[in-house]
Chains A and B, each alone.
Chain A
């Protein structure tokens, strides 16, 4: 039984559709990786789940987002205010632009507890201290009074996670949460996210372009390209035997998997600009396996074995 069920989600800017027919399922305690290169639509898909698309520019043009029997795609703004932070929390790549620089860390965490749960100042304070401890900030009672600039990059990311988890959401959406961090700090933050999943049963949507991060943290994956899901399935099977040529190409061009003396198997060309997607399969101009049918006919996502789906005319059933 999924906690969150996204069906046929499309996002449009004016007349052009940027994200099309995205299906996602998230179960309790599951870490779902949303992978893709820049412009593939992974970030706006996440924002759409929270209904945080920039008003007037982007809108959900079709589809549904089911959470606890409600469709968030059709919920009112007042209902959404009770969802954001309470049922779904969100963290971002850059904590600097999502923490208030002139508000103490403790107050930023306590604020949502007081607003959503009507807690007293004292209750909110002890909850905030507890949260800071949970995300691994040493000496949390003293750190409550610190401002974001007094924290290092990794600690700010931890503080943002504490803010997101203040009202005990069951789902955390993490948009490139470790991209701005150094690898040693990234390893700490990834470990923290997995700990929180284990301890709180948190379900996580992890948006990233880093396949190493995905391989280490996710249970299942959705690979996006040019606004569409190309392939979905359990992580291990998908990374071991990709069914879609794009997934295979993406795995192939990672440095480290190839012999250092040889050129990397790069993907020729470049991803299409948003809104100017090619007809047929959107990957066909760069695909080594493209045939005539790929130029004219868009492949639908079809089920292969073992909970795997791929949108390719020639998807190999692994």
Chain B
């Protein structure tokens, strides 16, 4: 990816949860396989988008990277050091260098605490500034995210959704992180406000050389914001590469179907008939072989057998051009063949 050492290096991460109602005696426990062997790297200052439909494991992946959920196997290395749940010092170091922004701007703030206090709390916990410097730093952070410091006394319900999301970003920035994971952080906002928040994120990211993992189901937003993108399906990355490459010439049949399903704002680019029938299978019963084979228009008998295909370079020997997890080299993209 990058000649320099990656900031974050995730190897073969697996996360599974015990399914609800699985504790019945004398029955085999059932598991939800949320993340099934994901590897990725993020360079300092890089933006990586993670896209996929609900249940594909993108949120769980984000949380597992920050050790907010325990992972079954695999490894997360941050700035070269391995982070595991048992190593309290490594976790504390990770917490001091990373932050997360959540989807629900109201739900991620305590409704009874004024927003200035909510930001000050982060500064105190991480001992970022001396106690007497906290109010000045809170005001500075509020200004940084485009709010006026006189809002510090307000509670979340007195603010709009967009303003609350700015507070969430200010709280993340209070950590002075090197990596921010934003999980659907504009999904709850109206487009006019969404554009403001995206602009703010882009500006801060550039100015502070932040690395950003942007998890979203909105392909347009990811295309605008991220330099690289990973497409997930049933807990695996099926395609990974430079955003423009993946969006303009998708290699994996799932990426193609996903892109073809996005309704274009141009009324003359009509939506093709749906390429995919049905919905993704349950992560409780993963299909054999390639996870996408039951819905794949190109599937052959071999796709149902053996292990899931792993990511390989689309141009042998050159990972920069993108990677795809498919047995076949599909002919160049034809998904938009129905355009006028």
Contact = CB atoms under 8 A, between A and B. Distances in A.
Interface of A: 37-38, 152-154, 182-188, 190-191, 209-213, 215-217, 235-236, 239-240, 249-251, 253-258, 260, 263-268, 270-271, 286
B198 interface: yes
Given A37-B192, A255-B223, A256-B220, A264 B199 contact: yes
B265 A239 contact: yes
A264 B274 contact: no
Interface residues of B, number: 45
B285 to A, nearest CB: 14
B286 interface: no
Given A184-B53, A239-B267, A255-B198, A152 B279 contact: yes
Contacts of B260: 187
A183 B267 contact: no
B272 to A, nearest CB: 8
A38 B192 contact: no
A256 B265 contact: yes
Nearest to A246: B192
Given A187-B274, A267-B195, 5 more contacts: A37-B192, A184-B258, A236-B267, A253-B195, A270-B163
B267 A154 contact: no
A251 B265 contact: yes
Given A183-B53, A184-B258, A216-B271, A250 B191 contact: yes
Nearest to B220: A256
A255 B267 contact: no
Contacts of B258: 183-184
Given A213-B263, A239-B265, A187 B271 contact: yes
A184 B277 CA distance: 8
B336 to A, nearest CB: 14
B270 interface: yes
A216 B192 CA distance: 21
A187 B263 contact: yes
Nearest to A256: B220
B190 to A, nearest CB: 4
B276 interface: yes
Contact of B263 (A190, A209, A257, A286): A190
Given A184-B258, A255-B223, A263-B203, A212 B263 contact: yes
A249 B193 CA distance: 12
Interface string B201-231: 0110000000000000111110111000000
B163 to A, nearest CB: 8
Given A153-B279, A185-B279, A264-B195, A255 B271 contact: no
Interface in B27-54: 53-54
Which 5 A-B pairs give the minimum distances between C-beta atoms? Answer: A212-B263, A266-B195, A256-B220, A267-B192, A253-B195
Contact of B261 (A186, A256, A267): A186
A286 B195 CA distance: 14
B263 to A, nearest CB: 4
A255 B202 CA distance: 13
Contacts of B195: 253, 255, 264-267
Given A183-B258, A250-B192, A266-B192, A216 B223 contact: no
26 contacts: A152-B279, A153-B279, A184-B274, A184-B275, A184-B276, A184-B279, A186-B263, A191-B273, A209-B191, A212-B263, A215-B266, A215-B267, A216-B271, A239-B266, A253-B192, A254-B220, A255-B198, A255-B224, A256-B224, A257-B265, A260-B225, A266-B193, A266-B195, A267-B195, A270-B192, A271-B192
Interface in B175-209: 190-196, 198-199, 202-203
B190 A37 contact: yes
Contacts of B266: 215, 239
A190 B192 contact: no
Contacts of A236: 267-268
B129 to A, nearest CB: 30
A125 B198 CA distance: 51
Contacts of B223: 255-256, 260
Nearest to A152: B279
Contacts of A286: 192
B191 A253 contact: yes
Interface of B: 53-54, 160, 162-163, 190-196, 198-199, 202-203, 217-221, 223-225, 243-244, 257-258, 260-268, 270-271, 273-277, 279
Contacts of A187: 260-261, 263, 271, 274
Nearest to A136: B277
B202 A209 contact: no
A270 B162 contact: yes
A215 B203 contact: no
Nearest to B199: A263
B261 A258 contact: no
B190 A271 contact: yes
A132 B257 CA distance: 26
Nearest to A183: B261
Nearest to B193: A270
Nearest to B272: A187
A212 B195 CA distance: 16
Contact of B199 (A212, A215, A235, A266): A266
Contact of A266 (B196, B271, B279): B196
B217 A182 contact: yes
Contacts of B160: 270
A182 B51 CA distance: 12
Contact of A183 (B202, B217, B265, B277): B217
A208 B129 CA distance: 46
Nearest to B224: A255
A177 to B, nearest CB: 13
Nearest to A251: B265
B190 A215 contact: no
